[in-house]
Amino acid sequence: MTDSKTPHSSDAEASKPASGGKPAFFGQRSADDPATKHAFNLGRQSIGPMYADGGWRDRRWYDAPLEDPSWPEVHTYTDAMSYEPGEDVVFHSSTYAPSWSIEIIRDGLVPETVFSRQEIPGRFHAAPKDAYKSGCNWPESLRWTIPQGTRSGFFKVVSTCLRPDGTRYVQHHFFVVRPTRATRTAPLLMILPTSTWMAYNDWGGASSYIGIDGNGNEFSPNLSFLRPWTRGMVWLPEGAPRICAEPVPDPLTVPRYHPKDWAWSNGFGYFYAAAGWAQYDRHFVCWAERERIGFDMITQTDLHYRPEILDRYRAIVIVGHDEYWTHDMRKHVEKFVDDGGRLARFGGNYMWQVRLEDEGRRQVCYKNRAQAEDPVRGTDQAHLLSTGWESQAVNWPGATTVGVNGLGGIYASWGGFSPRNTKGFTVYRADHWIFDGTQLGYGDVFGNEANIFAYEVDGLDYTFRHGLPYPTGEDGAPTNISILAMSPALKAESMFPVDGWRYYLGESDMRGAAQTRFGDQSPESLDKVRYGSGMVVHMPRGCGEVVTAGTCEWIMGLKRNDFFTCQITRNVLDRFTRQA
């Protein structure tokens, strides 16, 4: 568009709804929540009518601080996304509370607290009106030196302050400790799709989708890292809904959008279910640790600025929602594979080129406005235009790097996008080595019980010959790609004839896809992009190879212990990390 948890004292409190009084952050509190009662007492909310046009479809909200001295919150961010052992993590915080606490947890199957401090003096700093693109610019509140020898991984930052009624406000941030030559532990390197996380972070007013930029009602082409993360991207309570039709809808019913309903009711980010550690990558980490599969970890920012890290590894793994890449990220991965490395991508939605500026502290993506607004248009840097990879202006299909294209797929198994899809993949080339030990045969479906085929998927333009699918190459994909399994997807919601019902996306993304790919929204162009697919593919490239399972929800097969998904993932990682 483009859940495993070990209880922690701070996490248990984090499940309580947070307050929020900004008019743009709608529907956060239940009627009996202390924060709601507080807001009513202050006259901040009142009972009013419900209009037929009301609801989250018309009131897109963003995450923002309350900034009320009588009802304190604490918000924290770090000065960088990743660090090496021995470096200082600098925290920047704001709170009206007299004091606040911090806990740093190395997250995973068994979370481990590595640092905590109580009674840190509180200082309030207002959030700038353009914090989403310029950063918060708060002064330093605390720093912590990462011990030498610290293993790479994801470190959750839990900031907490007390409120007048004795409850706690809890906010989550993160940083990554990247591996060094001395701390490398395995031949497998996990790359977190943090550019996608950045695109969906709306804290302070805007994301790459919605916001208060421009005329006050636009997404922001420029997003700053120097701000907190939207609630739900770093931590979620077990059972938070996923973007998938669970359960399958009854016949003749209108589509449901469960994550939006839940977020509206509980005060979480508008896009909490679309991207982030909590909803995607953490599930792979917990599974891999349970399976004793060793791996180290970096961010996409590291991939962009520190490609030499890749030289220490035999394979790369990327999972979840993987939508935004820079030109340099792609070049670095392609060189890695061409030189004999392996890429395992269990994720979907390879869609947009972005640029990183200010050492990764700012991300730029103009999307479909790029040809009219992006400063690099018409210059010698036009190849860095921040729009779709498959657009006529960029013309660098993602399939040349990862084996599938974003516009070759998109939506499945939710809302009005084939909610009764099988939610699994149909096998076509059962004799391929990725299916070893599964006993899957031609026409078998796998992953359907775990709902692995959902939300956003990637595929190719294809044709059938003698019962087998082959890439046509018309979408710029290499024709030596083997399509191993697939399932259908589409870009427009089925407009069921239900009077008075409104859809979430309708045909908007189909029209956007036509505009991106062909430069117009003619009936002919719309017909070319309306339907797509999600695929599992294998692609040789240079001296290396690529396997992609092009769906955001593959990780649910691991989380839910689906035999086939787990075995296929093991097959790929075992082969890719094996000593040559």
Note the pLDDT of residue 579.
65
**22 pLDDT higher than 50:** no
Q: Which residues contact 349 (CB under 8 A, 6 or more apart)?
A: 1, 2, 196, 321, 322, 323, 406, 409, 410, 456, 457, 458, 552
**66 pLDDT higher than 60:** yes
Note the pLDDT of residue 93.
98
Q: Which residue has the higher pLDDT, 504 or 9?
A: 504
Q: Of 165, 235, 178, 192, nearest to 11 (Cα)?
A: 235
**531 pLDDT higher than 60:** yes
Note the pLDDT of residue 20.
34
Q: Of 143, 171, 147, 176, nearest to 158 (Cα)?
A: 171
Q: What is the mean pLDDT of residues 342-349?
A: 98
Beta-sheet strands, E only, within 140-230 = 140-145, 153-162, 168-177, 188-192, 222-224
Note the pLDDT of residue 56.
80
Q: What is the mean pLDDT of residues 213-230?
A: 97
Place of tokens 């008075």: 500
The DSSP-derived string for 525-552 is HHHHHSEEEEEEEEEEETTEEEEEE-BT
Decide the pairing of beta strands 544-549 and 342-348: parallel
Cis bond upstream, residue 221 (ω within 30):
no
pTM of this structure: 0.92
How many other β-carbons are positioned within 10 Å of the β-carbon of residue 308?
8
C-alpha 79 chain-centroid distance: 21
Please write the tens of the pLDDT for every residue from 393-426: 999 999 999 999 999 999 999 999 999 999 999 9
Place of tokens 């709902």: 451
As a whole number of Å, the end-to-end CA separation of the chain is 38
Q: What is the band of 46 on the pLDDT scale with cuts at 50, 70, 90?
A: low
Question: How far is 16 from 39, CA to CA, in rounded Å?
Answer: 16
CA angle (350, 389, 282) in 5-degree steps: 20
Please write the tens of the pLDDT for every residue from 67-95: 999 999 999 999 999 999 999 999 999 99
Note the pLDDT of residue 43.
37
Tokens matching residue 269? 């980010």
Tokens matching residue 328? 């340099």
The values of phi and psi at residue 483, to 5°, are: -85, 110
Q: 418 to each of 219, 405, 491, 512, how far by Cα in Å?
A: 28, 20, 10, 19
**42 pLDDT higher than 50:** no
For the chain, give the mean pLDDT.
91
DSSP lists the bridge partners of residue 355 as: 364
